[in-house]
Amino acid sequence: MNFEAAKKRSLVLREQLDKWNYEYYVNDAPSVSDQEYDRAMQELIAIEQQYSELITIDSPTQRVSGQISEKFNKYVHNTPMLSLANAFNYDDLIHFDEQIKELTGLSEVEYTCELKIDGLSISLVYENHLLIMGATRGDGVIGEDVTVNIKKIKSVPLRIDHPNLTVRGEVYLSLEEFNKINDERIKLGEPEFANPRNAAAGTLRQLDSTIVAKRNLNAFLYYYVNALGDEIQNQYDSLQRLEQLKFKTNPEYRYCSNIAAVWAYIQEYEPKRHQLGYEIDGIVIKVNNLSLYNRIGYTAKNPKWAIAYKFPAEVVVTKLLNIFPSVGRTGRITYNAVLEPVRIAGTIVRAATLHNADFITERDIRIGDDVQVKKAGDIIPEVINYVVERRQQKAKKWQEATHCPECQSLLERVTGEVDQYCINSVCPKKITRGLEHYCSRNAMNIEGVSEKNIERLYKIGYLKSFSDLYQLSQYRAEIIQLENFGEKSFENMITSINNSKQNSLERLLFGLGIRHVGQKTAKLLARQFKTIAELVAMNIEQLSVINDVGPIVAASVVDYFAIVANQQEIALLQQQGINMTYLVTNQTLSQKFENYRFVITGVLSKPREYFKELIESYGGQTSDSVSAKTTYLLAGSDAGSKLVKAQKLNVKIINEEEFNNLLIKEE
């Protein structure tokens, strides 16, 4: 076949394959057999192998090619991907409806209802008709560029009949595919995924995109960014427009003329939730009229024109086969239940949490009991109580553990607290869990050092502390010989470890695992003291007076740095080149907003996260609520109730121009 003939034939094949993909993966109505589809695909692959210049990024063959992404780059969303506020009952919905009416002046509000898919939020960007970016939600402002993996989702079109468009939706895994994946993992001796959402999220973040292709992820699209700019007037019509552009939308969406119709929709779908073939955890309710959105406005985290109704947790009864303790990175003991397998919220559950010893003894839960189990937030299974009328007479009273299940050290209980702790600083499980936390995304963000790898390297003796991570390169020859740990994996891991040396101080403070020091507190301390040396020099009284720290956190920080072993570890990390300084975006910025507290409200020229980051970079603090401690309310248009409260409290109210003047004002 000559080039011109090959070109014509490839175009015909592409058109056929795109049509068949759409029928199969979007409409669930294939018009050809798998064999016919495969024959056409193989023919196109052969043509492109012969004439490589015919390969383009939107070719159907590019979904199945194996590619490995060294590392996910960050992507700044053009408009923030905000989360939704929650409603849990009818009264919450009435309150939401009343707020919308108050803000819009309408006597009746129309809504569009959609099923709340339990998956992973994504944003798709098309330019010149082609998919050029697929990104995760991330923190709402910055996500991960997972374009390579998004292209493996066959329901996501690579080319659309629109020149430039951004759409958003949810990547999910059907229950059928989820069960197939877990069956395969059981055969391979690998741990099962807890639920379809975790499996979908883990799959989309795979570095090897061939794994993504095998797992058959799917995607529902539900948000047409800048729909008004394309003269689409309401949310219902935007979903129909997405369908016209060959995107897969969830077919169960519905127009509702008022909040009463919304409630009827919820009552209809709550009993249907486990008949859908995919997991949902509620209903999303959006004001239908898109032109009202700016008037209704946004909070720092949520749009005010939408809300998520969360279904109540499903409760089932099953038998409690055993109770066993486990130890976490801080030494805290958690008790776990082994259950007779039972289906809850669409997945098979074999284990659940029992929290702590007091939880079990206060409820007198015993091994052998029939117990009530629910998924907290439809995610974490937990035992609620035992079924009194089903208790066996021979059931023995349960006794709490006295020794650590890992190192057999005597457990201790802190005065005034319900939890037991292993206080052995060299407890193997405390060390490995601490290392997992140190390497986690929100701490030092070290990739390639999974739970399994940490445990293997710990047992071998290469990895006993945080500082040991930065010495792993000397064991290259030995590590690459380990099962499933080749040269590429090793090099990627070492690169990520070395990159972590440049992190700002707050990541290190959070990664160290100091008790009571979460992400927010770590950033607060890093911004306040700038270096770890200054922080270590503080006493409890000096730390306690800092806003949002208090005596409990202060005592925990001081106690941590008073331990000689921790001092030695910090010194080793410093010797190995780990940054111990707070890094701001612009090193020349002053701390002119130090001790200032801002609240941001209304519609501004840029997303609220932009102003929040700017304020914090100048040493200021931000809050979601107005109080007597608020220094400034930065108010845009349609400011709403926060403006009223600020006026009552005599809080200084500034607009965007006045805020910019504060930035350039000489100190």
| SS3 label, residue 323 | strand
Dist CA 403 CA 421 (whole Å)? 9
Radius of gyration of the chain (CA): 28
Ramachandran quadrant class, 606 (left: phi over 0; alpha: psi -120 to 50; beta: rest): beta
User: Please, what is the angle between helix 564-575 and helix 550-562, to 10°?
Assistant: 70
459 is catalytic: no
314 is in an annotated binding site: no
CB 549 within 8 A of CB 509: no
Residue 304 assigned to a binding site: no
The answer to the question of whether 301 is labelled as a binding residue is no
Question: Taking phi first (over 0 means left), then psi (-120 to 50 degrees means alpha), and beta for anything else, what does residue 502 get?
Answer: alpha
Q: Is 137 annotated as a binding residue?
A: yes
Q: Give the separation between CA 330 and CA 207, rounded to whole angstroms.
A: 30
Tell me whether residue 36 is annotated as binding.
Answer: yes
Closest CA to 506 of 488, 486, 527, 492: 527
Beta bridge partners, 285, equal: 113, 307
Query: CA 6, 9, 15, 16: dihedral to nearest 10 degrees?
Result: -130
Helix (H, G, I), strand (E, B) or coil at 556: helix
Q: Per the annotation, does 113 bind a ligand? A: no
| 439 marked among binding-site residues | no
Question: Is residue 83 marked as binding?
Answer: yes
Q: How far apart are CA 184 and CA 201, in angstroms?
A: 18
Neighbours of 272 (CB within 10 A): 11
Q: How far is CA 361 from CA 356, 366, 386, in A?
A: 9, 9, 12
- Identify the DSSP state of 312: P
Helix (H) / strand (E) containing 466: none
Q: Cα–Cα distance between 167 and 228 in angstroms, integer?
A: 13
The C-alpha atoms of residue 403 and residue 637 are separated, in whole angstroms, by: 60
**Cα separation of 476 and 375, whole Å?**
43
Instruction: Tell me whether residue 404 is annotated as binding.
Output: yes
The answer to whether the annotation marks 362 as part of a ligand binding site is: no
What tokens appear for 426 in the block?
């060299």
The one catalytic residue among 7, 19, 71, 116: 116
Cβ 218 vs Cβ 249: under 8 Å: no
Provide the 10 A C-beta neighbour count for residue 364: 14
335 in a known ligand binding site: no
Q: Confirm whether residue 256 is marked as ligand binding.
A: no
Neighbouring CB atoms inside 10 A of 644's CB total 11
Residue stretches of the annotated binding site: 34-38, 83-84, 114, 137, 170, 286, 310, 404, 407, 422, 427
The catalytic residue positions are 116
Enumerate the known binding-site residues for NAD(+): 34-38, 83-84, 114, 137, 170, 286, 310
- Residues annotated in a binding site for Zn(2+): 404, 407, 422, 427
